[in-house]
Amino acid sequence: MGGGLALLAPLAVLGRATLALLAGTGRLTLFVLQILRHALTPPWYLRELGQQLLHIGWLSLPVVGLTALFTGGALALQIYAGGSRFNAESVVPSIVAIGMTRELGPVLGGLMVAGRVAAAIAAEIGTMKVTEQIDALTTLSTNPIKYLAVPRVLAATLTLPVLVAVGDSIGIFGGFLVGTTRLGFDAATYLDNTADYLELWDVISGLIKGAAFGFIVAVMGCYHGMGSGRGARGVGRATTKAVVSASILILGANYLLTEVFFRA
């Protein structure tokens, strides 16, 4: 009898984990639906939206810009090294541009913003939760999802494509710098090559990815912040969960979107 129960124990653990995952997914789905509903119905808090556009967009520029610059440079070196194995060094400009716009711009931009913004949102909202500020909002007839989550989600969804576009440009510029100073490309030829092979859809698809990743970042920050446990420990955990889950969801969503956009 005891032996039989011991055999069942791993199954019970598995079952509990599955149930927890399903319940979590359900809660998150409901949360997203609530955000969408509140985003579409008045009142809209435009002042908060403006502040978040500044916080999330403007203040993320240095991080995203630096990431793109170094990545573009490294990419040029790698493609040159790889290309030289079959005498195709001339592909450097076009592959740097395509790689940045389709993949690295949005993914690295999304991940950097996940680290910066999802953490900041979760910590801020989590602290508001444990200090009863969220309850205070409700007693002041203000819906916390409408007042806190909607402006953040809108701001992140709108600004991440812009950040990605800036990152794309800086990344291509990083490749150009390395290409012309270290790899012996002629500046005019490098730029011609970039422009000739880059298609509009390469850029647009990356911007769409950026919007999706911005949405993910802000939703995970708000979701975990509002679900924060009590005390400083609760807020710390919420912050970690927000960053980890946003990063993983970004990578997963990136694969899915790439599959949808580019499968031959």
Partner 1 sequence: MIAITDLEKSFGPKAVLRGITLEVPKGESLVVIGGSGTGKSVLLKCILGLVRPDGGSITLNGQDVTGKGREAFLARFGMLFQGGALFDSLTVWQNVAFRLVRGPDRRPRAEARAIAVEKLARVGLGADVADLHPAELSGGMQKRVGLARAIAADPEVIFFDEPTTGLDPIMAGVINDLIREIVAEMGATTITITHDMSSVRAIADKVAMLHAGKIRWHGPVAEMDSAEDPYLRQFITGAPEGPIETLR
Residues at the contact surface with partner 1, assessed by CB under 8 A:
43, 124, 128, 131-133, 135-136, 138-142
Q: Select 56 or 107, whichever has its Cβ closest to partner 1.
A: 56
**How many alpha carbons fall within 13 Å on the CB side of residue 225?**
29
Q: Select 87 or 139, whichever has its Cβ closest to partner 1.
A: 139
| Min dist. Cβ of residue 240 to partner 1 (A) | 22
Closest CA to 113 of 256, 10, 12, 211: 211
SS3 of the chain: helix, strand, coil, percent, to 5: 90, 0, 10
Taking the C-alpha atoms of residue 99 and residue 180, their distance in angstroms, rounded to an integer, is 18
Taking the C-alpha atoms of residue 67 and residue 109, their distance in angstroms, rounded to an integer, is 8
Q: Select 138 or 189, whichever has its Cβ closest to partner 1.
A: 138
Taking the C-alpha atoms of residue 184 and residue 195, their distance in angstroms, rounded to an integer, is 19
| Residues ≥6 apart with Cβ < 8 Å to 235 | 122, 123, 126, 127, 129, 130, 228, 229
| Min dist. Cβ of residue 141 to partner 1 (A) | 5
Q: Select 16 or 182, whichever has its Cβ closest to partner 1.
A: 16
Taking the C-alpha atoms of residue 259 and residue 8, their distance in angstroms, rounded to an integer, is 39
| Min dist. Cβ of residue 133 to partner 1 (A) | 5
| Min dist. Cβ of residue 111 to partner 1 (A) | 27
Q: Select 48 or 103, whichever has its Cβ closest to partner 1.
A: 48
Q: Select 41 or 138, whichever has its Cβ closest to partner 1.
A: 138
| Min dist. Cβ of residue 144 to partner 1 (A) | 11
Taking the C-alpha atoms of residue 28 and residue 139, their distance in angstroms, rounded to an integer, is 24
198 burial (CB, 10 Å; 0-12 / 13-18 / 19+) is buried
Task: Supply the DSSP symbol for 183.
Answer: S
Q: Select 42 or 184, whichever has its Cβ closest to partner 1.
A: 42
Instruction: Write the DSSP assignment of 147-170 as a string of letters.
Output: IIIHHHHHHHHHHHHHHHHHHHHH
| Min dist. Cβ of residue 139 to partner 1 (A) | 5
| Min dist. Cβ of residue 32 to partner 1 (A) | 21
